[in-house]
């Protein structure tokens, strides 16, 4: 039953975003411009990934000669040094992938929606975008410096989230970082809550509950950003972004 529910949720999400891709891209492509807290946590993530590169394997992942937040021009190469790659999972139209690139991060985007990937490739032709799923990322074990999953796991049924977090742990190098975003439930009495997302069925999470699942997957929370809803927000939900780290030991456990 869980597998069937997950399959139905995946198809509904993929088909829903395919149908809404153009409208979604128009609405969210410039969304970071008016979200200073989102830009701030992405900056912290970029610095964390760079620090991991400086202290561990490979380079810092910092690209030369770009202002922070600058979008890549045509033909630009990902800003990866020494293989310090970051996957933007559920990348949609690619705006966060491009923002990370502007911060000097060697980011590439993955999304289940072929229509979204088509729009991302059109908007940012110098960057890498792939059709794929969170449950089975097409990268080797321990090959990524970071994973970004901002409001990507919300469409996964709660029972399917631990395997997704395990997959994130698999692809992260020791010391690698995860940034995961979601909307909070109304309180600790609601570990998860379904809400009326306009594209596909979605779930909110109580932050401590998701943080516990991260720990179970071998990812330790290092920072938490909670944004209170603005008066004009259609849904009066708190928005949460958790930064977590895989252990730096040889097996990804505690260093």
Q: In this predicted model, what pLDDT tens digit does every residue of 64-81 receive, in sequence order?
A: 333 334 444 433 333 333
Which residue is associated with the tokens 């029972």? 159
Mean pLDDT value of segment 13-39: 83
**Rounded Cα–Cα distance for residues 106 and 146 (Å):** 10
pLDDT band at 8 (very low <50, low <70, confident <90, very high): confident
Mean pLDDT value of segment 236-241: 92
Question: Is the pLDDT confidence value at 130 over 50?
Answer: yes
pLDDT band at 84 (very low <50, low <70, confident <90, very high): confident
What pLDDT, on a 0 to 100 scale, did the predictor assign at position 251? 59
Q: How many CB atoms lie within 10 A of CB 211?
A: 19
CB 148 within 8 A of CB 176: no
**Rounded Cα–Cα distance for residues 69 and 31 (Å):** 13
What pLDDT, on a 0 to 100 scale, did the predictor assign at position 252? 61
According to DSSP, the β-strands at 202-205 and 219-227 are: unpaired
**3-state DSSP assignment of residue 157:** coil
Mean pLDDT value of segment 156-180: 97
pLDDT (tens digit, 9 = 90+) per residue, 27-56? 878 888 888 999 999 999 999 998 555 444
Mean pLDDT value of segment 9-20: 80
Question: Is the pLDDT confidence value at 241 over 80?
Answer: yes
Q: What is the mean pLDDT of the chain?
A: 84
pLDDT band at 10 (very low <50, low <70, confident <90, very high): confident
pLDDT (tens digit, 9 = 90+) per residue, 174-192? 999 999 999 999 999 999 9
Lowest mean pLDDT among 14-18, 87-91, 115-119, 219-223: 14-18
CB 141 within 8 A of CB 166: no
Domains of the chain: 2-246 (3.40.50.150)
- Joined tokens for residue 60: 């810092």
- The DSSP output letter for 184 is B
- Joined tokens for residue 57: 């394997």
Q: Which of 18, 45, 22 is nearest to 149 (CA)?
A: 45
Q: Which residues contact 12 (CB under 8 A, 6 or more apart)?
A: 155, 200, 201
What pLDDT, on a 0 to 100 scale, did the predictor assign at position 23? 84
pLDDT top residue among 62 and 124? 124
Global pTM value: 0.83
């Amino acid at each position: 039953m869980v597998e069937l529910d997950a399959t139905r949720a995946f198809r509904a999400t993929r088909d829903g975003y395919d149908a809404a891709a153009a409208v979604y891209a128009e609405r969210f492509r410039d969304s970071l411009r008016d979200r200073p807290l989102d830009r701030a946590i992405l900056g912290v993530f970029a610095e964390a990934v760079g620090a991991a590169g400086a202290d561990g394997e490979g380079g810092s992942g910092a690209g030369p000669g770009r202002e922070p937040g600058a979008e890549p021009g045509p033909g630009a190469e990902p800003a990866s040094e020494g293989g310090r790659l970051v996957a933007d999972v559920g990348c949609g139209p690619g705006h966060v992938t491009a923002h990370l690139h502007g911060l000097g991060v060697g980011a590439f985007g993955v999304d289940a929606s072929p229509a979204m990937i088509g729009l991302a490739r059109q908007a940012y032709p110098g960057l890498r975008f792939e059709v794929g799923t969170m449950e089975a990322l097409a990268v080797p074990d321990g090959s990524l410096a970071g994973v970004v999953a901002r409001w990507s796991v919300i469409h996964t049924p709660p029972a399917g989230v631990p395997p997704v977090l395990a997959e994130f742990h698999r692809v992260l190098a020791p010391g690698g970082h995860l940034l995961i975003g979601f909307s909070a439930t109304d309180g600790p009495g609601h570990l998860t809550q379904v809400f009326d997302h306009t594209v596909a069925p979605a779930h909110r999470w109580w932050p401590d509950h998701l943080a516990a699942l991260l720990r179970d997957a071998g990812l330790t929370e290092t920072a938490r950003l909670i944004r209170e809803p603005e008066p004009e927000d259609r849904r009066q939900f708190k928005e949460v972004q958790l930064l977590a780290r895989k252990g730096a030991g040889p097996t990804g456990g505690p260093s």
